[in-house]
Amino acid sequence: MRWVASLFALGLMMALFHRLTAASPVAARSALALGFLLVTAWPASEIARRARVPRITGLLLLGLCVGPAWLNLVRADEVRALAFVGDACVALIAFAAGSAVPLATLRAERVALARLAGGTIVFPFAAVALVTLSVSRWFPLTVHQPLGNALGVALTLGAIAAASSPVVTMALMDELHARGPLARAVLGVTVVKDVALIALLALVLVVARLVGSAGAVHVGVGALALARLAGSLAIGAVVGALAAQYLKLARRDTALVLVTLAFAPALAARVLHVEALLVALAAGIYLGSVSREESERLRVQLARAALPVYAAMFLLAGAGFRLEALADLWPWVLLLAGLRAVALRYGTLWAGRSAVVTPALAREAWLGLISQAGTVLGLAAVARQAFPAWGVSLEALVVAMVAVYEAVGPICFRHGLARAGEFFKEEAHAGEQPVTRGALGGGTGGGLHKSADRSGPGRLPFGGAAGLAERGTVRGDRPRAHGRVRDVPCQRIEHRSGGVSPGAAGDRGDSRL
């Protein structure tokens, strides 16, 4: 109750300041709004922890409550003024996501990643496009459109439905300290999909131009999106190279490099009209590939500032939710969201028919691919420009669906990680004891218990080629006080088959945590 009381008291104080500063410049009011959001982040995250939902979901909902959509304690112009701060926070999280999947990992797991990404792109794309086209006579965006234009809208919604968010995935992995095979595989798939879907949308716009009526589609917008994709990746590689060179020359000042990695992509997005998320993602992949030691140093430094970074990003994202379209189109939003979830499920099951994807990934990975954010909003903006007649309505629908996915997706991913045994369900937010590769299997995750030493070429979970340390959790009896793993009485670590874990001591009697 004290956390709820704290939030209530902070809300009353902000309501008073809201009235007193009504005539102040927007820069001053936005600074006050940012301070208010950061102060409320801790009680909101504690309430979310006690409710056993991800902290980032609690932050999103708090941002929605205090933002323009409801209480208006943070005004719409203040949210727009703080967009640069939000982009900087997104860039930092995207950098962490990119550094976690270096090129060595992507090459080693290319077959499995390609199959998972392909299944989770094709199935949602086809399902959403076909259903939208079949109900085009009643769908609000196509009710008065000819068949060619309706096909363009259906294909665009299908392309957007195939997207997933590496930023939300990385945020939840950090919150739950999840570094197991399932978490890393989902992160790799989201990174691959983020790049591939921009090219897919450009192709969709070309098809829409061919089948649509004259003037219905500006196909040049697709070419511009491809150019921005290439520019984002190139700028990101340059930023990553400069960061690696600086860190090799100067062993200190990693905080300064983090600030640069946050604001350089955000500034490039403002000046050069590229995607800040993709710039930071490319920088992280480059730095993690060519300079693993420096990349780890930056990630350790970033972990110390994780709470304010995540708080600022998700609170601003929640405050920026525009739910006007949701009030009018909620039946269609629910239809498309449910259809997308089912298609993701069958996409991962199809991927699991190959030997390169473990059964656990086939069963659980779809739960980590529901979240959308970041790049999807950029795709919605591209669609708005490409379809001048109904682009605004299309963007409003996509933004409403993203709000649903961003709030529900972390809960689903957390559930999938719990089923795979990659964090303690009883202690989801309190932190877990890391376990090195080979010391532990993946719990109930079937194929997740296979270590990298016994995995075939290209087989998920991610192998040793990337040199990533696997962080898992131990299932079993836990002390009543929810102590950490090191407080659990000594016990033998065994696989489901009954054998001692490969990473355990050679003497079965000495195999201990």
pLDDT digits (tens, 9 = 90+) for 302-332: 888 888 999 999 999 999 888 887 888 899 9
* 59 and 112 both lie in a single domain: no
* 103 and 74 both lie in a single domain: no
- DSSP for 245-273 reads HHHHH-SS-HHHHHHHHHHHHHHHHHHH-
* 288 and 233 both lie in a single domain: yes
* 54 and 102 both lie in a single domain: no
Tell me what percent of the residues of the chain surpass a pLDDT of 70. 82
The pLDDT assigned to 84 comes to: 94
CB contact set of 260 (below 8 Å; sequence gap of 6+): 239, 243
Q: Do the domain assignments include residue 427?
A: no
* 382 and 311 both lie in a single domain: yes
pLDDT, tens digit, for every residue of 425-472? 444 444 444 333 333 233 344 333 333 333 444 444 433 333 333 344
* 77 and 114 both lie in a single domain: no
Domain region containing 377: 91-420
Answer whether 280's CB lies under 8 Å from 165's CB: no
Calpha distance 308→279 (Å, rounded): 22
pLDDT, tens digit, for every residue of 91-150? 999 999 999 999 998 999 999 999 999 999 999 999 999 999 999 999 999 888 899 999
pLDDT, tens digit, for every residue of 148-201? 999 999 999 999 999 999 999 999 999 988 888 999 999 999 999 998 999 999
Whole-number Cα distances in Å, 295 to 244, 254, 268: 8, 10, 22
How many other C-beta atoms lie within 10 A of the C-beta of residue 72?
A: 13
Helices assigned H by DSSP within 320-390: 324-351, 359-364, 375-386
The pLDDT assigned to 240 comes to: 93
Whole-number Cα distances in Å, 259 to 33, 91, 170, 262, 313: 21, 10, 19, 5, 15
> In terms of residues, how long is the chain?
513
| pTM as predicted | 0.80
* 96 and 60 both lie in a single domain: no
* 284 and 168 both lie in a single domain: yes
Q: How many domains does the chain have?
A: 2
Domain boundary among the residues 55, 81, 107 is at 81
Question: Hey, which residues does 500 pair with through a beta bridge?
Answer: 494
* 75 and 125 both lie in a single domain: no
Domain boundary among the residues 396, 420, 444 is at 420
Domain boundary among the residues 420, 453, 474 is at 420
């304690």: which residue's tokens? Answer: 73
Q: Do the domain assignments include residue 147?
A: yes
Residue-wise burial string across 27-56, b where 16 or more C-beta atoms lie within 10 A, e elsewhere: eebbbbbbebbeebbebbbbbbbeeebbbb
Question: Which of 505, 302, 413, 497 shows the shortest CA–CA distance to 56?
Answer: 413
Q: What average pLDDT score do residues 352-378 get? A: 92
Q: Do the domain assignments include residue 252?
A: yes
* 139 and 204 both lie in a single domain: yes
The pLDDT assigned to 504 comes to: 39
* 178 and 36 both lie in a single domain: no
Residue-wise burial string across 350-364, b where 16 or more C-beta atoms lie within 10 A, e elsewhere: bbbeeebbbebbbbb
The distance of Cα 278 from the centroid of its chain, to the nearest Å, equals 13
**Amino acid present at 263:** F
For residue 409, give both structure tokens. 């997706």
The pLDDT assigned to 300 comes to: 86
Calpha distance 317→159 (Å, rounded): 22
* 144 and 236 both lie in a single domain: yes
Q: Do the domain assignments include residue 153?
A: yes
- DSSP for 412-468 reads HHHHHHHHHTSS-STTTTT------TTS---TT-GGGG--TTTSPTTPSSP-GGG-P
Domain with 331 in it: what CATH number? 1.20.1530.20
pLDDT, tens digit, for every residue of 466-513? 333 334 443 444 444 444 444 444 443 333 344 433 333 444 334 332
For residue 75, give both structure tokens. 């005004």
Calpha distance 265→239 (Å, rounded): 9
Calpha distance 116→110 (Å, rounded): 10
Q: Do the domain assignments include residue 464?
A: no
